[in-house]
Chains A and B, each alone.
Chain A
Amino acid sequence: MEENKKILIVDDEKLIVKAFQDHLTRKGYEIEAAFDGEEGLIKVKEFRPDLILLDILMPKMDGITLLKKLKESPETKEIPVIMITNLEKKESVAETAELGSLVYLVKSNHGLIDINREIEKSFKK
């Protein structure tokens, strides 16, 4: 288990954020949460996470726009991003992959086990 890895969760669903936050904290990660895209962008700069869990449908700024901004900036473009969403659209899967996200997980179809596996995979690289 790698110590002190920092993960930023960007999702407007408070309970989902809480579940991920509690679980991943217990796993030994340092967690920060943002509840919309704009807040996410600020938190990325302040918190400098090693990984971002990113939702798509959010107020103020959606996840795809945020992902675009992250990948455009040299400071943030290397941070791995895992999409966690309930939006099942082929287009968004393709779009986020093209923008450089690692993987696209549909929340209702994937449990914590799957998310853990993907997080660990990204840190092993």
Chain B
Amino acid sequence: MALYQDLGRNLQKDLLAKWYGDLALANERKEPVAYLFVSGNVEELLQAYGFHLVYPEINALQCGIKKAAGGFIQKAEEAGYSSDVCGYVKNDVGIALAGGKWPLGNLPKPDLLVCTYAGCTTYMKWFEALAQHFECPLFVLDVPFVRDEDVPAADIAYVVTQLRELSVLCQAVTGRTLSEERLRELVRLSAEAEDLWVRVLEMAKRRPSPLDGFFEAVFFMAPINVLRGTPECVAYYEGVLREMEERVSLGIGPIPEEKFRVVLEGPPPWPHFRAFWDLFKRWGVTCVASTYPRVGGIWDWGMRHDPERPWESIATHAMNGYTNWNLARRQAMMRRFVAEYHADALVLHSVKSCRAFSMGMADTRELFLREDRLPALFIESDLADPRYFSEAQLRTRVDAFFEALEHRRSARV
């Protein structure tokens, strides 16, 4: 009997409902609110000061799933935003222009904006605009891009210095003082959750895989990005791991029969998530690993928060998100995924909104096709803007690709 089926999904529903419920009341209760980004996030430090945390990116993706993105994006475009800039930003600006009213209720106003300059430059533009809208303090945590094999010690030192400066600002905004002990505890809990999350992700190395490392992982990844440092987050991943183990023992997987294993590069098209997944399900495709669940942190190869060195490990963590890595490192990472997760192909999903992801994707395709002789499919839509999704076109491309793959396989047998 399946005891733990949908445990992950249900637990998450509860966690997020509580989180958004608290958020809605934060202003009223006069509790401090900080906005921050997923990439490079330093939530342990902010939690140590008791901030409620708002992640505009997560709000935008929620709008996408709830089919509410289009209206907000339009609102921002009416206010002057170009049709050619990131839809996440427009979605969020649209919510701000609507006074914080959105499908999940009410978003509180920020007392502090923390812009981690990691992962994309758009982050900066985004929070500069919000700082003006909300007239509240903005701290830019300048996180150097990982541009080389080795991360220079000076980079880490620079981020640590800024974290200390951010801490002083938090103190001023909240009127509270930092307990180093509490910070260490938060960081310890983060590391615990990270361990469990990696174990969940690695379940997909099994054949057949009990987990879809993209379509399911992008949901399971929410707590590791937004609720780290809490016991609930640890409990959540214990639950998900149990669910996955049970799936293995019962022979359940994300699809009835796994025929193809692929690595997926790029974000999901949130407004058309189901339709997009269905394109692959039809062919018995499991995404065994993907890059998107690593935007908030690349924990696969040992990076952890560390209670022995809380500040340095927060800094290191801030630097090591997927889009903060240079192209060569990203490509090496995909190669590793292909090998370690035994993938048959690479799927690249280019999205117009996000140059941080998309610029260079066609080059990656070339690399895998030419040098690795790995089949690679390149498709395009958007992660935020519902207007850029053409189902018929995508279906044709996906079908042609897997048909060819199937043909090749039967020819070989």
**Do the two shown chains form a genuine complex with each other?**
no
Q: Name B residues whose Cβ lies closer than 8 Å to a Cβ of A.
A: none
